[in-house]
Structure 1
Amino acid sequence: MDFNRLYVSCAPPSLLQSLPEEVIGVGALSRSSLSLLSVFTDLLGQLVTRKFALCLPSSIEARGAIFFGDGPYYLPYHRDPSTDFDVAKVLTYTPLQGDRTSLGYFINLTGISIHGKDMHVPQNSFNCNQSVKLSTIVPYTTLKSNIYKTFIRGFKKAAKGINQVPKVEPFRLCFTVGTSTNGLVIPQIDLLLGNGEKWTIYPSNSIKQVDDNVACLAFIDGGKTAEQAVVIGTFQMEDNLLQFDLDQSRLGFSSSLYPYGTTCGGFNFTV
């Protein structure tokens, strides 16, 4: 195969010091012409469609996976590792929104529901075009202050039966949970999307265990002047498969894979 237009760059070790110890480089997944997806489609042409799927693990001991091109996206069932589950079959889709000032990815968000009750925020709170950004750099979903305050009030009310404790930075709302969140009735959060679909955020993606006895709501106040009203961070993406389809300009999302009996850390790289 003739590898034309292959772009490679090198960096001194000093530029990689802020990265985790085992990381040896960075690969772009944006809309940029130098992103990994663009490079692969340039090299392989019609053999690879302009889409990729991202599956981030919830454990630092597990490996996630990135799939370039179309599915199926096979992950093993935890109860029967010999049986594979095609996550592509359970994806829900919503349009990707354009943003001329960014090479990132945006979706249309019209509201947030907590425990089945819609939040009441001023009209157009989610930016003028109601688009929110997806980020693999931001660790926790960040909300502009006016949205965050309403969100916290709604979550407190829905979680009234859970004992609250002093905040643990960078979080503002924390609870006594013992050694795990299992058995607690944690309010479910739904991101209400412009095409009528909803992205359900289960407790595994909304509550962060900070020590043996305390867990916190893993959403951050982005301040009054935040550029984006909402930025969806990596904690909310963990063990969710996200498919970025640039050909059809849409995002496919699974919500948590736990109910399907699998996780993003189960992909078999030896096959």
Structure 2
Amino acid sequence: MFGGGTLFLNQVGWPFNTTTLVSYTPLRTYKESPGYFMSANRGILVDNKAQVPLPMDAPLTIGLSSTVPYTEVRPDVYRPFIKAWDQAMVWTAKVAPPPGVPFELCYPSSKLSLTRFGYFVPDVTLLLDGGGGWTLRGGNTMMWVDGGNLACFAFAEMKEGKTGYGGHEAPAMVIGTLQMEDNVVVFDQENLRLGFTGILTGRGFSCSNFNFTVPAA
């Protein structure tokens, strides 16, 4: 959503104030590119403890896209990131992804436990500028494929040298719609900051419970 104010939950009729969001982080520009970007120059955590060993010369500029279905990660960041998550995911053996699937790490969905946050898998936390952290749980990191028989870690390697951002190389990561699903994401343009809740199913509701037709107060 754009702006701020109060959001309303249909099923219980009480207001949800955006000031109670988990965290805010500054919005920034990326070269001459249109759109919204944030920075995670403090790094990425896997499973709340292992910091991904990223290249020192790769500032973590992160874009958000409503047209990309899942997060794409630039190759120099993708390889250490995917390796760190693979090393943390030790309790279920991975299987080869089906042909045409852009994900590298896939698992039999029947072998994964479900929680109110989605599949019980290692968390991914983006350590954002401003002191906050956006933690992505299993509901935002895993995608069903092969008719639901497999669940894959839904981060894909960006094509080498991808441009389209003012003619420049792409940012380190572009967050797609799967990673934003069932989150309230607030673009506070007046204060140039982004607010986010984390996955709402952990609080017992989803985006469908909000009444966005009621004007924000």
TM-score band by shorter chain is: 0.7 to 0.9
Greater relative contact order: 1 or 2 (C-alpha under 8 angstroms, separation 6 or more)?
2
Equivalent residue letter for 2:175: I
Deviations 1:45-100 (A, max 9, x none): xxxxxxxx1xxxxxxxxxxxxxx543201224xxxx23435051431100001235
Query: 86, 91, 104: which one pairs with 1:172?
Result: 104
CA apart distance, 1:131? 1.9
- Give the conservation status (yes or no) of the 8 Å contact 1:73–1:88: yes
Q: Which runs of 5+ in 2 are unaligned?
A: 163-169
Q: What letter is aligned with 1:235?
A: L
Q: TM-score, normalised by structure 2?
A: 0.83
The answer to whether the Cα contact below 8 Å between 2:8 and 2:212 also exists between their aligned partners in 1 is no
Separation in 1 of the partners of 2:61 and 2:148?
Answer: 37
Deviations 1:110-155 (A, max 9, x none): 21110021100111313xxx42111111111110112111111111
Residue number in structure 2 paired with 1:121: 54
Does the CA-based 8 Å contact 2:62-2:171 persist in structure 1?
yes
Structure 1: any 5+ residue segments left out of the alignment? Answer: 1-52, 54-67
Deviations 1:203-262 (A, max 9, x none): 000011123321000101003323222111111000111111111111011111112211
Give the whole-Å Cα distance in 2 for the aligned partners of 1:89 and 1:96. 17
Which aligned pairs between 1:1-271 and structure 2 lie closer than 5 A?
53=1, 69-76=3-10, 81-86=11-16, 88-91=18-21, 92-110=23-41, 111-116=43-48, 117-126=50-59, 130-168=60-98, 169-178=101-110, 181-182=113-114, 185-210=120-145, 211-226=147-162, 227-268=170-211
Check conservation: 2:182, 2:206, Cα contact below 8 A: yes
Partner amino acid for 1:160?
V
Q: Which residue of 2 aligns with 1:34?
A: none
Aligned in 2, Cα 1:264/1:173: closer, same or farther, shift over 3 Å?
same
Q: Distance in 2 between matches of 1:270 and 1:228?
A: 34
Instruction: Identify the residue that residue 64 of structure 1 maps to in structure 2.
Output: none
CA contact (8 A) 1:96 1:105 kept: yes
The change in CA–CA distance for 1:270 and 1:242 in structure 2 (over 3 A counts) is closer
Structure 1 residues 74 and 269: alpha-carbon distance in aligned structure 2, compared to 1, 3 A threshold: closer
Contact persistence 1:140–1:234 (CA under 8 A): yes
- Between structure 1 and structure 2, the one with the greater Rg is 1
Tell me the SS of whatever aligns to 1:251: strand
